[in-house]
Structure formats: structure tokens, C-alpha cells
Amino acid sequence: MSKTATYDVVKNGTPFQNPVSGDIATTSSGSTTAANKVTADIAAVDAALLITPGDPVLLAQRAELVTLQDRFVVLNGGPANPGLPAQYTIGTAALSFAAITQHTNYFSGVDATPPNGFETEGVSFINVLGAATAMKSVAKELGETPADDPCKTVNDLLGSVLGKMAEILGPLLAVLNAFVNAAMTVANMIALLDNFVNNIWQIMNDEVNRLKQYLEDLAAWGISSFLNSIIKDPCLAAVLGAIATPALQQAIATAPIVPS
């Protein structure tokens, strides 16, 4: 594709897509169906309690169902619940399917709205791509790229749209369907759901924090590269010699030019 053709797509079309949006929507729908089952089950237990009030088995069942219901309320767009495990929140917001979509929309370039937990103003998807591209080069220069994984920095930063999220959402949907089909106990559902949510939270949290760190590292790398290159200009080298700390002068003397 020529540069002008690419320009036309970028200017007039929609150049990016969220490859996991379908998986998120399908799993969200499954979560709603499972939540409806929990509501119906609670109603059935309440009806039974009218016949045998105070029945300890029914009361225990109801408590488990309410615990599970609280989790679905959050995932399906309700407010953050301080009574749930910490992974059900991202920053100060609830971890919902809407938040997962917002996160992956941002890291796939579909949406310019930063994901929950990312407070830095003015960061765009182009910064994400730039950080991924530059940090791949930086990691190589620093000898931090594993021989068997040359794309590690890119995969670490953009994993949510490169398969990591899909790997979790597929099995999660299967679990939700099993629960709706009464093939799973409430207690097991709670434990499995917490595990899935923890893994989703980990991906989102890691990507946000990694991007923040990458942007800081790239700023430092850019300054260091610039300072190293100044030594080739005798006029600027004199300025740098006057203002640089002994530590900086030693660093430049040791490695006068950072390879490009």
C-alpha cells in the first residue's frame, strides 16, 4: 500500500479495530444471562424460606447467591463494591465489561479515551505505538531482549489486543454457560469468577503501568542519547563540559555515542 493510500484510510476511514470487541460483547452477554439466573435462584430460595423460615441450608444458599450477585452487578456495569476483592476495581472505578472494552479500545487505537487508571493527560494511541516501537529498540540496545522472544516489550505492552484477553474471555464464557446450565455450584462459580477477574485485572493494570514506565524511560533515553551526541559538536561540548555533573561527564566519556 502506498503512503498516499494509507493517508486516505487514516484521514477518511477507520484505520484501527479492536480485535477482542466481539469476545468482550459475547462474554458480557453471558454474564448478564448468568446474573439473571442468580436473581431467579434468589427468588426461588426466598419463596422456599416463606415455607420454612430460618432454614439454615436455605439461608446459606441465599448468602452464597447474594455474594455471587454482587460480583455480577459490578461486572455488568454497577458501581465499585468495597466488599468485593480489590481486583473488581481499576483505580477508583469498577472493573466492568465496559471498562475492559474502554481499555482494549484505547490500546487498539479505536478510542482516544485513556483507560481507567491512566491519569496522564495528552497521551494518545500513537504514543502507545511509539513507546512499543522505541522500547523494542531500547531493550535491544540494553541487551534486555530475550533471544527467544524478540517482541517481548511489544507483547507486554499490547498483550490485551494480541491474544491475552481473548485467552481469558473464551474460558470465562464457557464457565458462565456452564453455570447457567446448572452444571456448576455457586461456590465453585465464585472461586472461578474471582480467578478470571484477577487475570483480567492483571493484564489491564500491567499495561497501564508499563506504558507509564515506558514513557518515562523513553524521555530519559532521549535525553541521554542527545547528551551523548553533543560531544561531537565542539561548541556544545564546551557548554556540556561546563554544566554537566562529574557523574554525567564520566558517563559520556565512557560511552560518547549511543548507537542509533
Q: Is residue 255 part of a domain?
A: no
* Residue 260: pLDDT over 50: no
Q: For 118-130, what is the mean pLDDT?
A: 78
* 9-19 confidence digits (pLDDT tens): 888 878 899 99
Q: In this predicted structure, which of 106-115, 186-195, 232-241 has the lowest mean pLDDT?
A: 232-241
* Residue 109: pLDDT over 50: yes
pLDDT of residue 38: 98
**Which residues are CB-contacts of 226 (< 8 A; sequence separation ≥ 6)?**
none
pLDDT of residue 259: 45
Q: In this predicted structure, which of 76-80, 103-107, 118-122 has the lowest mean pLDDT?
A: 118-122
Tell me the percentage of the chain whose pLDDT exceeds 90.
56
Q: For 158-178, what is the mean pLDDT?
A: 97
Q: For 227-235, what is the mean pLDDT?
A: 80
* 191-219 confidence digits (pLDDT tens): 999 999 999 999 999 999 999 899 888 88
Q: Which residue has the higher pLDDT, 210 or 124?
A: 210
**Residue 175: domain span:** 3-215
Quickly list DSSP for 104-157.
HHHHTTS--SPPTT---TT--HHHHHHHHHHHHHHHHHTT-S-TT-TTHHHHHH
Q: Is residue 62 part of a domain?
A: yes
pLDDT of residue 27: 98
pLDDT band at residue 255 using 50, 70 and 90 as cut-offs: low
Give me the sign of the Cα torsion angle 145, 146, 148, 153. negative
Q: In this predicted structure, which of 35-39, 156-160, 251-255 has the lowest mean pLDDT?
A: 251-255
d(C-alpha 119, C-alpha 103), whole Å: 13
Q: How many domains does the chain have?
A: 1
pLDDT of residue 67: 97
pLDDT of residue 4: 85
pLDDT of residue 3: 67
Backbone angles phi, psi at 163, to 5 degrees: 120, -25
Q: Is residue 85 part of a domain?
A: yes
* Residue 116: pLDDT over 90: no
* Residue 26: pLDDT over 50: yes
d(C-alpha 10, C-alpha 2), whole Å: 12
Q: Is residue 26 part of a domain?
A: yes
How much is the pTM?
0.86
Q: Is residue 116 part of a domain?
A: yes
Kind and range of the H or E run holding 243:
helix 234-243
d(C-alpha 170, C-alpha 15), whole Å: 26
